[in-house]
Amino acid sequence: MARRCSRTACARPAAATLTYVYADQTAVLGPISTYAEPHAYDLCAFHSERLSAPRGWEVVRLALGNAQPGPSEDDLLALADAVREAARPAPPVEPPRETGREVARRGHLRVLTSE
């Protein structure tokens, strides 16, 4: 079932998602989100075109294209590189060698003399 416009008494299907960034005093209107978010508002095409923000606020309008953009070739290569990097075995880690003798201890910390 398609989501509806969040405006009262509007039964049109949602075409865009509106999110407020209070810290920056910005209203961001972009393509409809994949999931319904509790702090975002879905708007129909009519209401998204007529959107106005409070005085002093900036409205950022992102492209509302119908086509869902797929991952670019760079994204796929970066993902493949990350998978290869994660599959590499980690080099063995040698425990640090002590060069002095312990003269005091406080909790998990030790005081060593340099020799």
Query: Among residues 7, 8, 13, 9, which one has the least CA distance to residue 66?
Result: 13
pLDDT grade, residue 59 (50/70/90)? very high
The answer, yes or no, to whether residue 68 has pLDDT greater than 70, is: no
**What is the structure's pLDDT at 70?**
63
pLDDT grade, residue 79 (50/70/90)? confident
pLDDT grade, residue 48 (50/70/90)? very high
Q: Where are the domains of the chain?
A: 16-61
